[in-house]
Amino acid sequence: MLSGPSFSPAGAIIALIGASALPLANYLAHHVVRVKRGRLLYPLAVVFLAGTLVPALSVRWLTRGGWIGADAPFSGGRAAVLGISLVVGCCLIVLALRGQLRGELRRAVRLFIALFAVSLAEVLVFLVILFNLTEVVLAPLFHPLWGLVAAAVVCSALFGLYHFTHPAPWNNWAQAARLSVVWFFVCLAYVLTRDVWAATIIDTSFATIGFVRNRVMTLDATPPVTALALDALSIIFVVAIIR
C-alpha cells in the first residue's frame, strides 16, 4: 500500500499517466479509430502498450518512490494463493454458467485465455495504482477498515464508468452498475491476497462469465496461440519492469 507521507506533484503526474492511458486508448480505439478487438492492433496498442506497459512503468516509479508497496511481482511462495484463486475462479464460472456450461465449456476456456491480458491491464490500473493511492489518500479520514471499503467503492465506481469507453453492450448505466458491483469483489480478492495475479484470475473469471452470458462474440475469432502469446508477453513485462 501507499507509504509516502505526502502526495508530490511528480507522484500525481505519474499516477495520472499510468491510470489514464488505458481508458484513453480504449476510447480512441472504440469510438474514434474504431479498431476491431479481434485484430492484432487492438491487443498490442491498447491492451499491451497502454494497458500494461505504461501502467507497469508507473507502478515501478511509484514503488521505488515509496508510494506503493511492491506487491505486484509474483513470488514462488505465493503459489498456494494462485492455486486457491484458480479454484475459486473455476467455481465461479461453473456456478454462474450451470445449465449451459456443457455447450460453452470450450468457448469459456478460450475466453479465459483471451481475457487474461485484458484483466491484468485492468488490475494494474484500477487496483495497483488507483486502489492503493485512494486507500492512502482516504486513510487519514477513516478507520483502516473503512478506508479499505471506501477505496474499494471509489475504484469500483471508476471501473464501472471506464466501460463507457467500450462499445455495446458494456457502455450503458445498467452494465456500469453491475460491473461496479463485480469489481468490488475483485477488490476484495486483492485486499485479502495483496497479489496482482490472484486478482487477475478472479477478474478474468468474472469477465469470462460476462462474455458468455451476454453472448459477446468479439473475441471468438482470436486464435488461442495469439491470446497465449499476449498473456505471456504481458506477464513477462510486468514482472521484469516492476521487479
Query: How confident is the model at residue 38, as a pLDDT?
Result: 55
pLDDT digits (tens, 9 = 90+) for 26-42: 999 988 987 665 568 88
Q: What is the DSSP string of 91-128?
A: HHHHHHTTTTHHHHHHHHHHHHHHHHHHHHHHHIIIII
Contact between residue 67 and residue 4 where contact means Cβ atoms under 8 Å apart: yes
Which three cell numbers mark 232?
A: 505471456
pLDDT digits (tens, 9 = 90+) for 174-213: 999 999 999 999 999 999 988 899 999 999 999 999 999 8
Query: How confident is the model at residue 57, as a pLDDT?
Result: 93
Domain boundaries, the chain: 9-242
Residue 222 sits at φ, ψ, to 5 deg, of -75, 120
pTM for the model stands at: 0.91
Q: How far apart are CA 98 and CA 118, in angstroms?
A: 25
